[in-house]
Amino acid sequence: MKNTIHTAATAPEKSRPLLEGVHQKMGMIPNILGGMAEAPASLQAYLSLSAAFGSTSLSATEQQVVALSISHTNGCDYCMAAHTTMAQGAGVSQEVLDALRNNTALEPKLEALRTFALRMQDTKGHLEAGELESFLAADFSEEQAFEVITGIALKVITNYSNRLLNTPVDVAFAANTWEKSSCEPACGCNM
């Protein structure tokens, strides 16, 4: 694979307006989106799903718990750096970010969210008896269970795309570089 990171000028024609929109919104085109631009339908799917996930009833912190938990377990260094930066911009506490990046315990409600997201991914949705109930008992709703699935789908797109591209971390995210080796040996991530 040639691993091309496109700009709005070099992207396939159908990807150009999408990248231009990203640049207008973010002031940059993240490398992952420049790479995904090779497949306009994939880039469009990511942007649509990202917007949908961003409009869920999950708080900004809860959204980042899902994104960082899935990225951590998938060993995606690019997404860990990018989402840490986005989480900081959204006001997620450093304590929560440190716990997500190091796979250490969160406060009970956020830990229930992380556990549910990881179990959904690990079991491919085949939860054991009581797992959904535990999530709901942590003051989440059935609607939010589906929203977690949306977040998992979003991270599958970027985590897998980053694997194909071996995406270099953008300068804007470099201060939050994360290395797979920095997580606990028994964390269960797929390193």
Whether the pLDDT of residue 45 is over 90: the answer is yes
Q: Do domains 1-55 and 58-182 have the same CATH topology?
A: no
Q: 90-144: per-residue pLDDT in tens?
A: 999 999 999 999 999 999 999 999 999 999 999 999 999 999 999 999 999 999 9
Q: Given this model, what pLDDT does residue 2 score?
A: 73
- What pLDDT is recorded for position 3? 80
CATH 2.60.40 is right for the domain spanning 1-55:
no
pLDDT at residue 183 greater than cutoff 90: no
pLDDT score at 143: 98
Axis crossing angle, helix 94-102 with helix 60-73, rounded to the nearest 10: 20
**pLDDT of 152:** 98
**One CATH from 1.20.1290.10, 3.40.50.970, 3.40.50.1100, 1.20.190.20 for 58-182:** 1.20.1290.10
pLDDT of 173 over the 70 cut: yes
pLDDT at 1: 64
**Spacing of C-alpha 115 from chain mean position:** 15
Own/partner long-range contacts of 180-185 (Cβ < 8 Å, ≥24 apart): 180/75, 180/77, 182/101, 182/102, 183/72, 183/101, 183/102, 183/103, 184/102, 184/103, 184/104
Residue 51, token pair as written in the block: 């917007």
The domain segmentation of the chain, as residue ranges, is 1-55, 58-182
pLDDT band at 179 (very low <50, low <70, confident <90, very high): confident
Q: List pLDDT tens digits, range 32-41.
A: 999 999 999 9
Q: What is the pLDDT of residues 47-91, one digit of tens each?
A: 999 999 999 999 999 999 999 999 999 999 999 999 999 999 999
pLDDT higher than 50, residue 190: no
